[in-house]
């Protein structure tokens, strides 16, 4: 059974810092990996999708990398802003395309 | 662009009652997924449908059932509701194994 772990569970940084969120998964036979953002009580916003054959994806200040063989992904956020405060969820898809989520990293960026 | 529509947004029920949640996928998406996110938890996969047929089943209780209709919308039927069923229920849709797009969720509260 696929298990996804995210470290750290919570992170508080001052505005402007660059930061890294970590995600690890136990079964490397994945189709893709997605990073989501979730604001309190709200839905899931897809940030980046990395196919299993890819090593990284970039969107604006966000960069996600994937090391499938070691079962790891990182989400790099450059020049963090207070508006980046949210919970960031990593999810992997296996056969059937259903997603297995990690527990999330709750990020607080202080002005 | 059209997104995944879920209704209702909020629903309050009492124990032992029934509830029906509805999901309208993005046009031309043929696959629908249901997830349950309990308070402080990560989303858990419940069930998915491809072309109106159940494709995968996750941790869905026997008290719950779901189906996908000819117009591709899906309904999650929940019976004998328990306090532990209080959660945010997400629907997502995709075209085949393409990335899933999530709705804003239905918040179900059981009194």
Closest CA of chain B from A23, distance in Å: 14
Q: Spell A10-40 as b/e; 16+ CB within 10 A means b.
A: ebebeeeeebebebbbeeeebebbbbbbbee
DSSP class of B26: P
Chain A and chain B share a number of CB contacts under 8 A equal to 55
Q: How far apart are CA B16 and CA B8, in angstroms?
A: 19
CA of A4: which chain B residue's CA is closest?
Answer: B42
Please check whether residue B9 is in contact with residue B89, taking contact to mean a CB–CB distance below 8 angstroms. Answer: no
Closest CA of chain B from A108, distance in Å: 16
Question: Which pLDDT tens digit goes with each residue over A52-73?
Answer: 999 999 999 999 999 999 999 9
Question: Which pLDDT tens digit goes with each residue over B13-40?
Answer: 999 999 999 999 999 999 999 999 999 8
What is the reported pLDDT for A67? 96
What is the reported pLDDT for A42? 85
C-alpha distance from residue B21 to each of A78, A100, B69 (Å)? 39, 22, 13
Q: Write out the E strands in chain A.
A: 4-7, 10-14, 19-25, 32-38, 44-51, 56-59, 62-67, 72-77, 86-93, 99-101, 105-110
Percent of chain B whose predicted confidence (pLDDT) is above 70: 99
What is the reported pLDDT for A87? 97
- CB-CB: which of A43, A49, A101 is closest to B99? A49
Please check whether residue A65 is in contact with residue A85, taking contact to mean a CB–CB distance below 8 angstroms. Answer: no
Q: Contact A99/B58, CB-based, under 8 Å?
A: no
DSSP class of B99: P
Question: Which pLDDT tens digit goes with each residue over A1-47?
Answer: 899 999 999 999 999 999 999 999 999 999 899 999 999 888 899 89
Which of A58, A31, A32, A56 minimizes the C-alpha distance to A47? A58
Q: Which residues of B touch A42 (CB under 8 A)?
A: 104-105
Question: Which pLDDT tens digit goes with each residue over B47-78?
Answer: 999 999 999 999 899 999 999 999 999 999 99
């Amino acid at each position: 059974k696929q298990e996804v772990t995210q470290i750290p569970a919570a992170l508080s940084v001052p505005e402007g810092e660059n930061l890294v969120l970590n995600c690890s998964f136990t079964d490397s036979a994945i189709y893709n990996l997605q990073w989501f953002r979730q604001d309190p009580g709200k839905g899931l916003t897809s940030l980046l999708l990395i196919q299993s054959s890819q090593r990284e994806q970039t969107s604006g200040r966000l960069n996600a990398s994937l090391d499938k063989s070691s079962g790891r992904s990182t989400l790099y956020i450059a020049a963090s802003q207070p508006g980046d405060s949210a919970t960031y969820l990593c999810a992997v898809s296996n056969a059937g395309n259903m997603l297995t989520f990690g527990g999330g990293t709750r990020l607080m960026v202080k002005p | 662009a059209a997104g995944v529509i879920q209704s209702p947004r909020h629903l309050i029920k009492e124990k032992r009652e029934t509830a029906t949640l509805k999901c309208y996928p993005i046009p031309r998406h043929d696959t629908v997924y249901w997830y349950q996110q309990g308070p402080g938890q990560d989303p858990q996969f419940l069930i998915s449908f491809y072309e109106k047929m159940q494709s995968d089943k996750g941790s869905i209780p026997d008290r719950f059932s779901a189906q996908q209709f000819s117009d591709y919308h899906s309904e999650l039927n929940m019976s004998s509701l328990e306090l532990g069923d209080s959660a945010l229920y997400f629907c997502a849709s995709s075209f085949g194994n393409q990335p899933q797009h999530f709705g804003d969720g239905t918040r179900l509260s059981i009194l």
